[in-house]
Structure 1
């Protein structure tokens, strides 16, 4: 793969055109005219993201305060561990979104990533808000320490951590693309067994405030995943030397490893709970991986898991708009493939 190093985009270059010549490594004045951008439909994505604005303390947690102590020990442990997981994943997303924007020479990407970064900051705040509502400060602190101390969680996050840090140390086009792959995994697959746990509680009228908060986060992450996969595909389209068998094989390898790690983690935190079918959860994780691969324009890894085995989770994502936006529907490439299944129309 050709080694192409990226430079941080200039803040303002008035002699360059307003419409960027490339997403990364191109030329742009830095002036954003939403009516004159390289990928016009991204304005609709920006508007959807902005329209999802919410704040953590708008969610009423009063019933959850009373209910937490009535949960089983297994439910309480899973609750705290999953909040610890989610905070570990969302915290670096604010920084990663801002880092991606620093190297984007397309001002529309800079603006969209700024909104995504702000929403990830709200997500992380919401975990602090949720825990402060239901447990003591010491228990809150223990949950937020899990990303540093839990061996299985460290193992689960190791490759993502390595890739995110590799992009910081070596901002090449290759590492940008690989970071977009891991960001797609994070936004579209890593969170979802945790989300399903809170929806499982809500089905039993338990911790409904928490599940409401999670549904807002879930809705945001679906939009983030939609944009990141399109950004990946557009970047790969603009840099065809990276669109080769070695890189595509790397993607499939990372997806397969990530699915295995996610299944291992979900069994670790959920296996002792009543009412959760772990075979369905395994299938759901593979289904989510297939979904993200299709969104990235690639073939599915798990042909037996193209349908969502846990369709009931769809009821808990508040007013998610499932319309499709697929600029690449008519594009063809040697190693990537699109289909009419690319839309984020199902959880």
Structure 2
């Protein structure tokens, strides 16, 4: 595949049409009329995304503040490590979404990516918020350092880091497609063992505030993953010279590598947590990988894991009516808004 570099999209170019001639490397005036875009259904995605607006400090953490010290040591350790993991994934997503938008010549993609970047920033803020509710600043900092210091987490994130940085250094069409592959993995598979940990606590009536926060993050990530998968397919369709057997095999190989690394990380961080079946978690990770591959227009690679083996998660997530993502179609969970930071007036 060619590695000719793409130019950043111009902010305004009146000589070009309003409806872009291409998602990347096309021509567009930079003027966005949502009623005249190349992919009209993306307006619905934009509307769903902005409809998900929420703020971290609207979730009352008062009960979590009381409960954290009563968690087992294994649960406390996993809680802090998984928050550290999630923060290392969401922080670069803000930047990556913005970088993708800089090279997108379709103004609708730029707008959708702007919303996604904002939501990823909120997610990262939420991890700071929950930790500030329950542990000291020193412990917060240790959790956020894990992405730089924990050898298992470093290993797990190595390929993702390499590809994201490759896109920065060499903004080619190939690297955009590969970066979208890793973004789809991140939005659709990497987060989910961490999400499951917090839902498992909630089903034992522990740290319900945190799990409620996670459910809102989860809802956002489902939409992000859905859009990235569509963007990936549309970009390949517009650039068929990249739709090769070689690139398809690259995607499958990196999915398989990512699944193995996610299983290694999950086993490491969840092995001593009551209520989590590690074999079930392994199947769940493979199920999520299959799901993202289907959304990207590719075939499943784990034929024995086409069904969700962790159906108990259904009770701990929001109702995502439009997303239609299997086990996330349940009654909306209510959260208590608090006007005071972390709900300390309720202690």
**Shorter-chain TM-score: what band?**
over 0.9
- Counterpart CA distance in 2 for 1:149 and 1:248 is 33
When the two structures are superposed, what TM-score results if normalisation uses the length of structure 2? 0.93
Q: 1:72 & 1:22 partners in 2: Cα distance?
A: 53
- What CA deviation, in whole Å up to 9, does each residue of 1:105-156 have, x standing for no partner? 0000000000000000000000000000000111000000000000010000
User: Number of aligned pairs?
Assistant: 328
- 4+ runs of 1 displaced by more than 4 Å? none
Q: Which residue of 1 aligns with 2:60?
A: 60
Residue 5 of structure 1: CA displacement?
Answer: 1.7
Specify the alignment match of 2:204 in structure 1.
Answer: 204
User: Residue 101 of structure 1 corresponds to which residue in structure 2?
Assistant: 101
What residue number does 2:237 align with? 237
Give SS of 1:285's match.
helix
Task: Name the structure 1 match of 2:114.
Answer: 114
Counterpart residue number, 1:81 = 81
CA-based RMSD:
0.9
The one-character-per-residue Cα deviations of 1:27-70 (angstroms, maximum 9, x if unpaired) are 00000000000000000000000000000000000000000000
Deviations 1:199-242 (A, max 9, x none): 00000000000000000000000000000000000000000000
What's the TM-score once normalised by structure 1's chain length? 0.93
The aligned counterpart of 1:183 is 183
Distance, in Å, in 2 between the alignment partners of 1:218 and 1:253 is: 26
User: 2:215 and 2:327 mapped to 1: Cα distance?
Assistant: 14
Whole-Å separation in 1 of the counterparts to 2:288 and 2:9: 34
Deviation at 1:345, TM superposition (A): 3.9
SS at match of 1:305: coil
Give the distance between the partners of 1:122 and 1:312, measured in 2 at CA: 27
The match for 2:332 is none
Task: Identify the residue that residue 262 of structure 1 maps to in structure 2.
Answer: 262
Asked if structure 1 preserves the Cα contact closer than 8 Å seen for 2:223 and 2:323, the reply is: no
Q: 1:317 & 1:203 partners in 2: Cα distance?
A: 11
- Matched with 1:142 is 142
Contact 1:167 / 1:175 at 8 angstroms: preserved in 2? yes
Task: Give the distance between the partners of 1:2 and 1:73, measured in 2 at CA.
Answer: 52
Question: Are the counterparts in 2 of residues 322 and 345 from structure 1 also a CA contact under 8 Å?
Answer: no
CA drift at 1:346: 4.1
Is the CA contact (8 Å cut-off) linking 1:14 and 1:29 kept in structure 2? yes
Residue aligned with 1:160, SS: helix
- What runs of 5+ residues in structure 1 fail to find an aligned partner? 325-343
Point out the more displaced range, 315-324 or 39-48.
315-324
**Equivalence for 2:335:** none
What is the rounded CA distance, in whole Å, between the counterparts of 1:288 and 1:260 in structure 2?
A: 13
Q: CA offsets, 1:256-307, max 9 Å, x none?
A: 0000000000000000111111111000000000000000000001000000
Change (3 A) 1:323 1:129: closer
